[in-house]
Structure 1
Amino acid sequence: RRDVVLLTLGTGVGGGLIVGGKLVHGRSGMAGELGHVTVNPDGPRCDCGANGCLESYASASGLRGLVEQRLGLSPGAPLPAPIVDSEGNFSVRGLSAQARRGDRLALEAFATAGYYLGIAIAAFLDIFNPELIVIGGGVAGALPYMRKAMMTQVRERAFTAVASQAKIVRAALGPRGGVVGAAYAALHPVKRARRAR
């Protein structure tokens, strides 16, 4: 594929862009910070200092924040047993298991994350007109619970001609993508052109 947008939903939200068959690095190598697009100017404060970034909703930390908000808990407060791991940390897997059982809190949290993810994807479709949008990272396993709200926003917001030609898929390598990518990068270093001064 020559035009691809990648979103990695993990503890935060990262990304990458391939335009015309080439990975986009940006002037200082920072291109692809897709998690910091604003999807709700009145939303929660992101770790980057801005309000309402995609990362504040569609990452593991964002989902935790949504759960805390719905339960009326202060940030960092202990969470109920079904959605924490053996060490007491928030678990997207646990939240997914609750969603599978029809738990309203879990389903609402994922629907909210999907809503804002769809807003961002619609923008990326209109800006980059990609063939493919790939969603990876640990949170991507919960995509089935986010997809309906996500696709509603994509259909409502993106240009129909653009959205109808693009596929939105889950990354084939799943959580192994980062390790495989690091190995590939080590074996195939990027040669950067020297800039004229």
Structure 2
Amino acid sequence: MYTKTGNLRLVQKINRSLILNLIKDKCPISRADISKITKLTRSTVSSIVDYLIKKDLIKEIGLTSSGVGRKAILLELNSKAYHAIGVDLGTLHTTVAITDMLGMVETKIDYPTNCRQGKDKIIKKLVTTIHNIVKDYGIQWEKISGIGVAAPGLIDKKGIMLITPNFGWKDTPLGEILKKEFHIPVFVDNNVNAMALAEFEFGKGQGVKNFVFINVGMGIGAGVIINGKLFHGESNCTGEIGHTTVDYNGPKCSCGNKGCLEVMASGPAIAKRVIKAIKEGEKSLIYKLANYDLNQISAEIVSKAANQGDKLGLNIMEETGEYLGTGVANIINLFNPELVIIGGGVTRAGDLIFEPLKKAVQKRAFSVSAKVAKIIPVSLGKDCTVIGAAALVLKEMFKITRVITSSHLDSTK
């Protein structure tokens, strides 16, 4: 049981957390407005605000510019008080970044990933890079709230990479490995979940309670936000939209089924269809943009050629858009989202892929659901995944239950 003193301390920490989150979400905001919104007394609000200022978590930024009477002092989050490390562990490239408390990338390091090097060398390189970026940026480890890692494949709630096909890893406890090395909290999640979280916290998904993020890359996956929370399912295996069937007579997928969305519309699938056409004699700007090397053909190059009017590129983008639209329609019918965000290299084709995609959605999704589902491209660009990785840390930091036990707000310090 809680003692009376324990209860009071718990309430105090909860109130601190509530006010900190309110300032983060509503800044600039005055003490009076905080009191109105939270229903806490002005004296309680003033006491907590003074405490948060002392802890360097918030700061005063000036006076209100409107209204009559005495002008109120405005408050905002001191986003530089603490930081998060985000890791985008990709099959081709890895990015390590340091962000502030609002997900702004302050510095980053990119380097190529060689999956053939093996697990130990890849993790060793990652550890070395994290050490180097912290040292080079000149930040103290006490100011880093944690490390977030976004990686492909199936990852459980303990940060164990259960299956990572492109790496060839199984049951790899990456979270525990990094935690033992750096002695700070580590959070590991699927890369598309991280992208969805990034858009929810800092992009076009802000304020949207129900939306789906679909990434079209080496594979195709989805991150799902339901009622303002990232949905993981019972076994952390949600969002495998790439392995839903869109063509029963299509080519065989790595999962064993035929005509999966991933084998019809992913980056490698797009490249494969283009290569086949060129080998069969079709002339295309794509070949020139790839420096006449078929192995260099990618979804980005196909998108670039399509935007320059290349016939093959246009046909491939239209076909891909139709396949993606079928997959998106399935998602809309299942989840009835307010928003669908599409990420990946194909988005560079713009309307050339979004128009056939939207037409397929209108044709295949329930009309009521399709009307409310806005479909847009990713808003955070290439940094979306690494920002999402950092957001894995930041969302935990701002959770009430997390803040209650956080040393950043511990009244004993």
TM range (shorter): 0.7 to 0.9
**Which residue pairs with 2:374 in the alignment?**
167
Distance in 1, matches of 2:385 and 2:292, equals 22
**Which residue pairs with 2:255 in the alignment?**
48
Distance in 2, matches of 1:59 and 1:124, equals 17
- Alignment-mate amino acid for residue 27 of structure 1: E
**Which residue pairs with 1:66 in the alignment?**
273
Instruction: Mark the CA change 1:12 to 1:143 in structure 2 (over 3 Å): closer, same or farther.
Output: farther
Offset of 1:189 from its aligned partner? Answer: 4.5
Distance in 1, matches of 2:266 and 2:292, equals 17
**Which residue pairs with 1:118 in the alignment?**
325
**Which residue pairs with 1:80 in the alignment?**
287
Distance in 2, matches of 1:142 and 1:53, equals 22
Instruction: Mark the CA change 1:135 to 1:85 in structure 2 (over 3 Å): closer, same or farther.
Output: farther
Distance in 2, matches of 1:83 and 1:132, equals 35
Match of 1:108 among 315, 325, 337: 315
Offset of 1:25 from its aligned partner? Answer: 0.5
Distance in 2, matches of 1:29 and 1:87, equals 37
**Unpaired segments ≥5 residues, structure 2:** 1-207, 281-285, 400-413
Q: Per the alignment, in what secondary structure is the counterpart of residue 135 of structure 1? A: strand
Q: Which has the higher strand share?
A: 2
**Unpaired segments ≥5 residues, structure 1:** 74-78, 192-197
Instruction: Mark the CA change 1:116 to 1:18 in structure 2 (over 3 Å): closer, same or farther.
Output: same
Distance in 2, matches of 1:84 and 1:15, equals 33
Distance in 2, matches of 1:117 and 1:84, equals 28
Instruction: Mark the CA change 1:84 to 1:30 in structure 2 (over 3 Å): closer, same or farther.
Output: farther
Distance in 1, matches of 2:358 and 2:291, equals 28
Q: Per the alignment, in what secondary structure is the counterpart of residue 80 of structure 1? A: helix
Distance in 1, matches of 2:320 and 2:294, equals 25
Q: Which has the higher contact order (CA 8 A, sep 6+)?
A: 1
Q: Per the alignment, in what secondary structure is the counterpart of residue 340 of structure 2? A: strand
Where does 1:174-193 land on structure 2 (aligned, <5 Å)?
174-189=381-396
- Alignment-mate amino acid for residue 382 of structure 2: P
Offset of 1:72 from its aligned partner? Answer: 4.5
Instruction: Mark the CA change 1:166 to 1:129 in structure 2 (over 3 Å): closer, same or farther.
Output: same
- 1:10-42: CA deviations, max 9, x gaps? 121121111122211111111111111111111
Moved more, 91-100 or 161-170: 91-100
Instruction: Mark the CA change 1:137 to 1:96 in structure 2 (over 3 Å): closer, same or farther.
Output: closer
Indicate conservation of the 8 Å contact 2:287/2:297, yes or no.
no
Distance in 2, matches of 1:10 and 1:85, equals 23
- Alignment-mate amino acid for residue 167 of structure 1: K
- Alignment-mate amino acid for residue 38 of structure 1: T
Match of 1:36 among 219, 243, 267: 243
Q: TM-score, normalised by structure 1?
A: 0.85
Indicate conservation of the 8 Å contact 2:261/2:324, yes or no.
yes
- Identical amino acids, percent of aligned pairs: 37
Indicate conservation of the 8 Å contact 2:346/2:353, yes or no.
no
Aligned-residue RMSD, C-alpha: 2.3
Indicate conservation of the 8 Å contact 1:138/1:175, yes or no.
no
Offset of 1:43 from its aligned partner? Answer: 0.8
- 1:142-163: CA deviations, max 9, x gaps? 2422122212211111111111
Indicate conservation of the 8 Å contact 2:287/2:294, yes or no.
no
**Which residue pairs with 2:303 in the alignment?**
96
